[in-house]
Structure 1
Amino acid sequence: MAQIAARPDTAIDPIALRRAFGTFVTGVTVITTLDEDGTPRGMTANSFTSVSLDPPLLLVCVGKSASSFPAFTAAPAFAVNLLHEGQVDVSATFASKSPDKFQSVNHDRVHTGSPILTDSLTWFDCTVHTRVDAGDHVILVGQVQAFGTSPSAPLGFCRGRYASVKDPLPAGWLASHGMIIGYLIEAEDNLLLRSDGKGGWVLPTARRRKADSRLMIDDGDALSLVSEDTFLYSVFDVADSDPGYLIYRARLAADAAGSALPAGLQFFPIDALPYDLIPTHELRSMLRRYVRERQEKRFGIYMDTGDGGRVAMIDGQARAWMPVAQD
């Protein structure tokens, strides 16, 4: 066994030390955040560790020489996206100095607003718990606010090269631990959409599965809804990625219809939705079905299955549940 040790009067060779550190097999992550003006920032990192279950903590180390370092030291939140074996190109992109890193990957916001790479192996959406200065890095400890995972094989890294991991999924593993909650919010004959920051449009999303009269959307703003007009509409996955989607129908409250919308939100006429700017096939298909069922005044609840899904149709208008008469 080769040994390299420093004498008391000799400094550690950083190149040899780096190679020694590199013999520890790790996964590969992309850590993401938003800078002060809301621009997504991200970088590849493999210094990731789980820390605690109660409270739920993890840590990543951010090099002070990284171009994204100022954003990670100032932002109140960040996300860690673990890559799967088919994302070597994503790792390379976020390890580069490209100004358009997010243009080639699907990403969304779930809880904190930090970009979540929706096709990744596993993601953790975190608020900053602690920052610790550590030499040429800062240790960023995050408290997990939301997470999701998938049954894909992880992308490994060892001795400066990517490595394969065989049979990563034990029997009985549960692939899904969370859902993205989307809302079809109407006002008169218009539907509310949210800018995805890349020229496309998606649904507003929220943390809560069922809204009351006020819906707190993921951007931190609130919308006033007619609570009794909120119904489950669709449940589906997107290209085997985790998390899946829960979609609710809802209606904007009359007293909020004339108010200014939060930044990034816009109403579109129901009969003129920008389908060519909707980023995923699943979302486009769901919106077309919604428009068709709205015209017919006959809505369904769609549940995704391996053979194409199931739709349970609901006839007539929703009405109050009638309690059983008491003797």
Structure 2
Amino acid sequence: MANATARADSAIDGKMLRNAFGTFVTGITVVTTLDADGSPRGMTANSFTSVSLDPPLLLVCISKSASSHPVFTSAGRFAVNILHEDQTDISNVFASRAEDKFQSVTYSTMHTGAPVLSDCLSWFDCSTFSQADAGDHTILIGQVRAFGTTPVAPLGFCRGKYVSVKDPLPAGWLEPNGMLIGYLIEAGDRLLMRSDGKGGWVLPTAKRLRTDRQLELAGDSALSLIPENTFLYSVFDVADNDPGHLVYRARLAGDWSESTLPGDMKLFPVNDLPFDQIPTHELRSTLRRYVRERQSNQFGIYMDSGDGGRVAMIEGDLQA
């Protein structure tokens, strides 16, 4: 039996209790949201846990002493970003009182608009389901609206310091509901497509959520994009057992020519895309919508759903 440090009728020593809580090995998360002005806010937290699968719920505890506490309790949405083993610097930044914590990270938005860090172990985009007062913390319960994960090692925390987690990926484990990140990349009046190696053409895909300037592609090649001209365009599933798809629209930056492109890529005139060589109905539909919207210069964001999906229209060209 563990040594007793206080009887039930004795006052609890806060420091010793904190040390005891700290023996529970946790991961590290960065919890993010937007304030009333639309500015991103975030903080490091390790008081996080899953709650329910049906409905999909999780919780995170927000200290009442945190400067962003009022923002999180009123925003109605938040994202939980679980950090991987190479992100101790991000953990430290978001645990600090730095004025602009987002200066050193890239992020995107998914379903609710809460910031999702571009390079993290896993992320959960949530609407606030409920909240409860709990002493010096507020418990936020979020309903998961979108999520993604990667097969890398998590950043661990125990006894007040970072720890390594060995063998984090069991044999045969697959990424559940991972996301394929595709790009509609314009170069003048042409669109960049990638050969699928089977006689078909698909969109270039990236290794992770979008970066500001240099897009690292699957296959260890890279392209330079104009960062302020990169926007989310479509979110959809192909099949229940396949990963979801995120599609961004973007534009090539700097000097480029056919000879500078990766060997498996080709530029097609936007009005002459090879629809008969595009392998999936979903991608053909995305590209047909893109061609129509480009002609009218009125772009939308498509979100898949069980009743056929929704398109939110955004008027204007690719510009900030």
TM range (shorter): 0.5 to 0.7
| 1:102-117 map, 5 Å | 102-117=102-117
What's the counterpart of residue 175 of structure 1?
175
Change in CA separation of 1:150 and 1:3 when aligned onto 2, cut-off 3 Å: same
Supply the distance in 2 between the matched residues of 1:11 and 1:151 (Cα, whole angstroms).
44
Specify whether residues 157 and 87 from structure 1 end up closer, same or farther in structure 2 by C-alpha distance, changes over 3 A only.
Answer: same
| C-alpha separation in 2, matches of 1:180 and 1:68 | 32
For residues 159 and 127 of structure 2, what CA distance do their matches in structure 1 show?
32
Q: Return the alpha-carbon distance in structure 2 between the equivalents of residues 248 and 40 of structure 1.
A: 21
Partner of 2:56 in structure 1? 56
Residue 151 (1) aligns with residue 151 (2):
yes
Structure 2 partner of 1:97: 97
Pair 1:203 & 2:178 matched: no
Q: Runs of 4 or more off by more than 3 Å in structure 1?
A: 180-186, 188-191, 205-210, 243-249, 295-303
Matching of residue 80 in structure 1 with residue 77 in structure 2: no
TM-score (norm 1): 0.62
Q: Quick one: distance in 2 between partners of 1:130 and 1:71?
A: 15
Q: How do 1:1-327 and structure 2 match up within 5 A?
A: 1-6=2-7, 8=9, 10-179=10-179, 184=184, 200-208=228-236, 246-247=246-247, 273=251, 275=253, 292-294=267-269, 297=272
CA contact (8 A) 2:190 2:269 kept: no
CA distance in structure 2 between the partners assigned to 1:190 and 1:69 by the alignment: 47
Question: Distance between the aligned counterparts of 2:6 and 2:69, measured in 1?
Answer: 32
Structure 2 gap ranges (5+): 192-209, 213-226, 255-260, 280-290, 292-320
Shift of residue 299 of structure 1?
A: 5.1
Q: 1:6 to 1:17 in 2, by over 3 A?
A: same
CA distance in 2: counterparts of 1:56 and 1:7, whole angstroms: 36
Cα offset, 1:117, TM superposition: 1.0
Across the aligned residues of Structure 1 and Structure 2, the Cα RMSD in angstroms comes to: 3.7
Find the aligned partners of 1:302 and 1:84 in 2 and give their Cα distance. Answer: 35
Aligned length: 236
Partner SS for 2:269: helix
Cα distance in 2 between the residues matched to 1:296 and 1:205: 19
Q: Quick one: distance in 1 between partners of 2:278 and 2:22?
A: 48
Report the residue type matching 1:3 in the other structure: A
